[in-house]
Chain A
Amino acid sequence: MPSDDRSSDEGRLSTVLVLEPDILVRMIISDYLRDCGFKVVEGVTADDAVAVLESGQKIDIIFAEVQLSGSMDGFGLAQWVREKQPDIDMILTAGIARAAEKVRDLCDEGPLEKPYHPQEVVRRINILLERRRTAPKA
Chain B
Amino acid sequence: MLNAVKSRAEDEARQPAILVVEDEVLIRSAVAEYLRIAGNLVVEAANAVEAIAVFAAGVPIDVVFSDIHMPGTTDGLSLARWVCDHHPGTRVVLTSGNADAARAAEVAEIFFPKPYRTAEVAMRIRSLLAKVRHRGS
| B25 proximal to A (CB < 8 A) | yes
Shortest CB-to-CB span from B59 to chain A, Å, is 8
Distance between Cα atoms of A43 and B25 in the complex (Å): 6
Name the interface size band of chain B. Answer: 20 to 34
| A52 proximal to B (CB < 8 A) | yes
Binds B, one of A26-34, A71-79, A90-98, A128-136: A26-34
**How many residues of chain A have a CB within 8 Å of chain B?**
19
Q: Given that A23-B45, A42-B44, A44-B46 are contacting pairs, would A28 and B29 also be in contact in the complex, using a CB cutoff of 8 Å? A: no
Interface of B is mostly: helix
Q: Which of A32, A34, A44, A55 has the largest count of B CB atoms less than 10 A from its CB?
A: A44
The answer to whether A52 touches B26 (Cβ under 8 A) is yes
The answer to whether B25 touches A27 (Cβ under 8 A) is no
With a cutoff of 8 Å between Cβ atoms, the chain B residues found around residue A88 in the complex are: none
The answer to whether B43 touches A27 (Cβ under 8 A) is yes
